[in-house]
């Protein structure tokens, strides 16, 4: 394990806390945006406005040796991520912030399963138990049969699946080109993929709505950057448990500013899922293997 990583666990936790605050700000802004702008259009405008942050990446992207296989990976990732982003925007405008945040923790679990089925990685018994507990956590949140499971909750279930597929494809591409190229290509392909969906039901946005969506792009970009700082400062096994604080802030935000109340089942289910993801990360660190499961923050639009 990198000694530089283990030397600064406090900074790793600090940057992960900042990352959580950034992504809570993203969800709050999307909630404020509301439903007047259709979800695909809102997602398209967020990515279109965020292209300004790709300017520093222009050099590495132009110099990257892109093969036909890499183009195929980027296109496939762009397609599944496009669907995931549109579903996330749809869910965010329709269900409580805490529900979206808690269910988003499922993405690393889907990545773990996908790595087994598509990348040939082993699934040890302990990891099987962690996956099972994570799925139980999802059932605690949804409580089918005890409350109505709306379209927003179903959208979040599929969001996590599509984001999981996106990061499996990113794993395949990351060994060939730099992270800047992987991130830049994702932004370009998702913007292109969302464009026709946005034009199908276009609603002219106001300047205020554009300002909100630019804020979403800013906080999302900042969150990904601070997340990178967290991973450089400390191993994932140290920073992963801090992600649960995002659910705490999401619950507080929903209750204080959006009148959503506090659902103890959502908090409990989120805690079960985060515990499962943290356990998987810890086991990977103990076994000195490359961590397969990404932070749930990586699944954000």
DSSP sequence for 145-166 = TTB---HHHHHHHHHHHHHHHH
pLDDT 10s digits, 181-192 = 888 898 999 999
Using CA atoms of 35, 41, 47, 48 in order, give the dihedral in degrees to the nearest 10.
-130
As a whole-number percent, the residues of the chain with pLDDT over 70 amount to 88
**pLDDT top residue among 120 and 38:** 38
Pairwise CA distance, residues 78 & 86, whole Å: 12
78 backbone dihedrals φ, ψ, rounded to 5°: -60, -40
Domains held by the chain: number: 1
pLDDT 10s digits, 132-153 = 888 898 889 888 767 777 888 9
b/e burial code for range 5-31 (CB count within 10 A of at least 16 → b)? beebeeebbbbbbbbbbbbbbbbbbbb
Burial class (CB in 10 A: 0-12, 13-18, 19+), 101: buried
Pairwise CA distance, residues 251 & 257, whole Å: 10
Residue with tokens 């398209």: 44
Quickly count: other Cβ atoms within 10 Å of residue 163's Cβ: 29
300 backbone dihedrals φ, ψ, rounded to 5°: -80, 150
CA 179: distance to chain centroid?
Answer: 16
Tokens of 5: 């990583």
CA 10: distance to chain centroid?
Answer: 23
Mean pLDDT for the stretch of residues 79-90 = 94
Q: Rounded mean pLDDT of the chain? A: 83
Nearest in space to 46 (alpha carbons), one of 196, 209, 163: 209
pLDDT confidence of residue 237: 62
Mean pLDDT for the stretch of residues 18-41 = 91
pLDDT 10s digits, 44-83 = 999 999 999 888 888 888 888 888 999 999 999 999 999 9
pLDDT confidence of residue 246: 82
pLDDT confidence of residue 285: 65
pLDDT confidence of residue 293: 47
pLDDT confidence of residue 287: 64
**pLDDT top residue among 164 and 289:** 164
Which residue range forms the structural domain that includes residue 106? 3-299
Burial class (CB in 10 A: 0-12, 13-18, 19+), 232: middle
Cβ within 8 Å of residue 243, ≥6 positions away = 16, 20, 105, 274, 277, 295, 296, 297
User: 301: pLDDT confidence band, cut at 50, 70 and 90?
Assistant: low
Tokens of 43: 């997602």
C-beta of residue 188 within 8 angstroms of C-beta of residue 52 = no
Upper half-sphere CA count for residue 8 (Cβ side, 13 Å): 13
**pLDDT top residue among 237 and 297:** 237
User: 219: pLDDT confidence band, cut at 50, 70 and 90?
Assistant: very high
pLDDT 10s digits, 94-116 = 888 888 888 888 887 888 788 78
């Amino acid at each position: 394990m990198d000694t530089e990583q283990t030397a600064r666990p406090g900074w790793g936790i600090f940057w992960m806390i900042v990352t959580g605050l950034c992504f809570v700000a993203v969800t709050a802004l999307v909630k404020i945006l509301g439903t007047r702008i259709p979800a695909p259009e809102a997602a398209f405008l967020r990515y279109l406005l965020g292209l300004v942050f790709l300017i520093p990446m222009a050099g590495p992207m132009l110099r990257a040796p892109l093969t036909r296989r890499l183009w195929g990976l980027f296109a496939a990732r762009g397609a599944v991520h496009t669907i995931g982003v549109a579903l996330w925007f749809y869910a965010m405008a329709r269900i409580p912030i805490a529900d979206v945040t808690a269910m988003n923790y499922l993405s690393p679990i889907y990545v773990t399963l996908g790595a087994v089925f598509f990348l040939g990685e082993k699934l040890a018994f302990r990891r099987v138990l962690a996956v099972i507990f994570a799925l139980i956590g999802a059932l605690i949140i949804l409580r089918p049969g005890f409350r109505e499971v709306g379209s927003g909750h179903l959208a979040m279930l599929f969001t996590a699946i599509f984001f999981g597929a996106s990061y499996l494809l990113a794993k395949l591409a990351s060994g060939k080109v730099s992270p800047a190229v992987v991130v830049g290509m994702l932004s370009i392909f998702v913007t292109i993929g969302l464009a026709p969906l946005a034009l199908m039901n276009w609603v002219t946005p106001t300047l205020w709505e554009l300002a909100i969506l630019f804020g979403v792009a800013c906080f999302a970009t900042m969150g990904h950057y601070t997340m990178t700082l967290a991973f450089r400062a400390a191993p994932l096994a140290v920073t992963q448990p801090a992600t649960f604080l995002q659910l705490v802030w999401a619950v507080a935000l929903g209750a204080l500013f959006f009148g959503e109340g506090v659902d103890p089942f959502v908090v409990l289910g989120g805690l079960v899922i985060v515990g499962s993801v943290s356990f998987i990360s810890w086991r990977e660190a103990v076994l000195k293997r490359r961590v397969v499961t990404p932070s749930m923050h990586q699944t954000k639009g």
